[in-house]
Amino acid sequence: MTTQRKTKEKPVTHVSEVEELSKKNSSTPETKKIVTHVSETKKKTLAELLDLIKKKRTILIASIKNLPASQFQEIGKKLRGKAIVKVPKKNLMFMALDKSRNETAKKLQEQIKSDFAILFSDLDAFDLAAELVKGKIPAKAKPGQISPEDIEIQPGPTSLMPGPAVSDLGAAGIKIEIKEGKIHIKEGKKVVKAGQKVSQAAADIMSKLDIKPFSIGFVPIAAFDAKEGKIYLDIKINRDETVKALKEAYSKALAFAVEIAYTSKDTIKFLIGKAGMQERAIERLLSNTSDAHKLKISGTTESNDSMGNKSGEEK
């Protein structure tokens, strides 16, 4: 006969042992919930951004690097009625784009860096970008700035009186002369080449001459057009160059259209003028041909008459 030995369970008396047993006996792992606190101000800003993303046609990202606060406010005033300008925190803008559930608009996150502003507008992306370019303000050159193009001191009169400025300009290789008690630039001088940094000396000279070679403002980086459902990158607007290119293209297209006799409201007057010139040319050609024919007939008649007269005399 076998006897079963009963073992008494050891009573748990320590709190740590209770926790250890509960962990062993539990079938599901212990999870911790992280609760983040979002302020009411952030919630309000997020809701406002989300509403603008859904309602406005264009979302444009612009760089505001090195833009003074006074100029920022001035440009903001000029854009009233055309765009709503926001400078939100990056994480809030990212969150708003995520919540918009617009996969194309979300791609703007890749273009959001530091020192940026977000513009919301009913204008299309390029019209809005053109407004930003138009709103740029002339600015003086600062030492260390990289010039996108050559900067040249133009010849002509200045408002500078003779004094220390004479030696400063001379040290920069700028030829001057004194006229009517003022410094006059005799010859133009390139002080900064495209792609080079502005030196301290060049910045000082341009400051003395009140030359503002740069312009500051909102620089368009990328835009989302909700109507077209497209993202536009590297938006560059040069109104003068664009107008010049359009004029050249128009003149070439007009000449070609007239050449192939394409009829439109722009070509009809040229086509009528061309037809008139061709008509006169044909008339001159016919007139010359007719005169030549008459001369030929006249010459033949005279020849026949002379031959008749000779035969009569012989008889």
Task: List 138's β-bridge partners, or say none.
Answer: 215
The pLDDT value recorded for residue 311 is 52
236, 219 contact by CB (below 8 A)? no
Q: Is 224 in the same domain as 243?
A: no
Full residue range of the structural domain in which residue 173 is found: 151-213
Closest-CA residue to 156 (of 192, 190, 193, 182) = 182
Q: Domain count of the chain? A: 3
User: What does each of the 315 residues of the chain score in pLDDT, given as a tens digit?
Assistant: 444 444 444 444 443 443 444 444 444 444 454 545 668 888 899 999 999 999 999 999 999 988 888 888 888 888 999 999 999 999 999 999 999 989 999 999 999 988 899 999 999 998 999 888 888 888 888 899 888 889 988 898 888 888 888 888 888 888 888 888 888 888 888 888 988 899 998 888 898 888 888 888 898 999 999 998 999 987 777 666 777 778 888 788 888 888 888 888 888 888 888 888 888 888 888 887 766 666 666 655 555 555 555 555 554
177, 199 contact by CB (below 8 A)? no
Look up the CATH number of the domain holding residue 184: 3.90.105.20
Q: Is 79 in the same domain as 204?
A: no
Is there a domain that residue 10 lies in? no
Gap between the Cα atoms of 49 and 47, Å rounded:
6
Is there a domain that residue 8 lies in? no
Q: Is 75 in the same domain as 129?
A: yes
CA angle 28, 34, 38 (to 5 degrees): 155
Gap between the Cα atoms of 235 and 133, Å rounded:
11
119, 217 contact by CB (below 8 A)? no
Q: Is 88 in the same domain as 202?
A: no
Is there a domain that residue 129 lies in? yes
Is there a domain that residue 34 lies in? no
214, 138 contact by CB (below 8 A)? yes
Is there a domain that residue 141 lies in? no
The pair of three-digit structure tokens given for residue 5, joined into one six-digit string: 């030995």
Is there a domain that residue 186 lies in? yes
Q: Is 223 in the same domain as 118?
A: yes
The pLDDT value recorded for residue 22 is 45
Gap between the Cα atoms of 256 and 272, Å rounded:
15
The pLDDT value recorded for residue 87 is 92
